Structure 1
Amino acid sequence: MSTQPTALVRFHLHRTEDITGVSGTGIVAGGVIFPDGTVAMRWNTGTSSTAIYDAIDDVTEIHGHNGATIVTLIDDRQD
């Protein structure tokens, strides 16, 4: 029997300060965490792009800017 979660978890990035001057503030990206922990994220910026990460912690490490951007889960994680 698998103990791995089966549901996708949606999230968005909420940026309170635009450190780089590229993405703006507010909800700047949205994405999903797959049951195996892999993350797909789509930027809501003028030049949109999609990125894949190994884990949500990687998203925070790369885009968190020391607390200026917060990952907000939309769905409850079932792990």
Structure 2
Amino acid sequence: MRRFELYRYRDPSGVSGTGVVAIGLEFPPDHEGHQWVALKWLGRHPALTLWASLYDLLEIHGHLGASDIRWLDPDPFEDPEDTPPCRSAAPAALRHAHQGE
């Protein structure tokens, strides 16, 4: 498992605000390959949500590149020598999937 923050650069909906708007936990893959994600929303409307993947989470709450994942822990499946610092953003595939849509 590893922890992350959902960081919002701009708030198109005007609800969550900017900066760290939620904290999350990514679970190891299940038997179907899903890496379930639990997300605790901060702010005026606290909530707890579950997602089957980070991609699914960002598809809804990424606001087309307005939000990013900031890892607090290293990826347990990567070689530590090949891993960027813990506060790296979401994998490029996730970021690029939401930019320019």
> Which of the five TM-score ranges fits, normalised by the shorter chain?
0.7 to 0.9
1:44-63 counterparts in 2 under 5 A?
44-63=42-61
Equivalent residue, structure 2, for 1:66: 64
Greater relative contact order structure (CA < 8 Å, 6+ sep): 1
Unpaired runs of at least 5, structure 2 = 30-34, 78-101
In the alignment, does 2:11 pair up with 1:18? yes
Unpaired runs of at least 5, structure 1 = 1-7
| 4+ long deviations beyond 4 Å | none
Q: How many residues align?
A: 72
Instruction: Tell me, in whole angstroms, the C-alpha distance in 1 between the residues paired with 2:57 and 2:70.
Output: 12
- SS for the counterpart of 1:59 is helix
Q: What TM-score do the two structures reach when normalised by structure 2?
A: 0.68
